[in-house]
């Protein structure tokens, strides 16, 4: 590295972001590799849920689809990311440990955009109570719930 090292020209927040991703891997005892960093950077930068195809696009050639699926499975098994399907069965991933507050998803029926939303606490508590009623009437144990909103997004409703 010369006196005007390339690193000096990198935006500080990019360095911070990479460092944060590196730390997430280290904290979970996952060996640090470039593709894992790239995936975490993309998920952290975009905050909301992302379709696998969008991750590929955002990686600008740095992630191959086969290795991406391997990394997703690995990080999912470690509960670092969670995975769900859109109503048309597209796989969507999001960070779970970093942003672990309970939330729900909105899907655009037209373009497939995915977004997060949260119910207010009272509604969540009432939902949990209702679920307990359902558990006893159906003799089941409910492990989790999710609420999906099918929508036309701001772009598509025009
Ligand atoms: Zn849309
Ligand atoms: Zn909920």
Domain limits, the chain: 12-100, 101-158
For domain 12-100, the CATH class is: mainly alpha
Cβ contact 87:107 at 8 Å: yes
Cβ contact 93:80 at 8 Å: no
With a cut of 70, list the residues of the chain below it in pLDDT: 1-12, 97-100
Q: What is the DSSP letter of 9?
A: G
Residue 51 CA to ligand 2 centre (angstroms): 21
Say whether domain 101-158 belongs to CATH 3.50.50.60: no
Name residue, tokens 């990686």: 59
The ligand minimizing its distance to the Cα of 151 is 1
Residue 113 CA to ligand 1 centre (angstroms): 5
90-130, pLDDT tens digit by residue?
999 998 855 557 889 999 999 989 999 999 999 999 999 99
The ligand minimizing its distance to the Cα of 127 is 2
Name, in order, each residue with C-beta under 8 angstroms of 51's C-beta and a sequence gap of 6 or more: 86, 90, 91, 92, 112, 114
In this prediction the pTM is: 0.73
Residue 124 CA to ligand 2 centre (angstroms): 5
């Amino acid at each position: 590295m010369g006196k005007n090292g390339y690193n000096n020209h990198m935006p500080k927040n990019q360095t911070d972001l990479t460092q944060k991703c590196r730390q997430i891997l280290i904290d979970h005892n996952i060996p640090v590799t470039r593709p894992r960093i790239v995936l975490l950077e993309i998920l952290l930068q975009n905050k909301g849920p992302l379709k696998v195809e969008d991750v590929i696009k955002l990686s600008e050639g740095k992630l191959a689809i086969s290795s991406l699926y391997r990394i997703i499975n690995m990080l999912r098994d470690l509960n670092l990311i969670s995975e769900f399907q859109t109503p048309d069965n597209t796989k969507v991933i999001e960070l779970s440990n970093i942003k672990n507050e309970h939330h729900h998803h909105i899907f655009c029926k037209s373009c497939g955009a995915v977004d997060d939303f949260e119910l207010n606490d009272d509604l969540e508590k009432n939902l949990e109570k209702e679920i307990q009623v359902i558990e006893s009437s159906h003799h089941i144990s409910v492990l989790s719930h999710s609420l999906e909103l099918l929508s036309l997004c701001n772009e598509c409703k025009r």
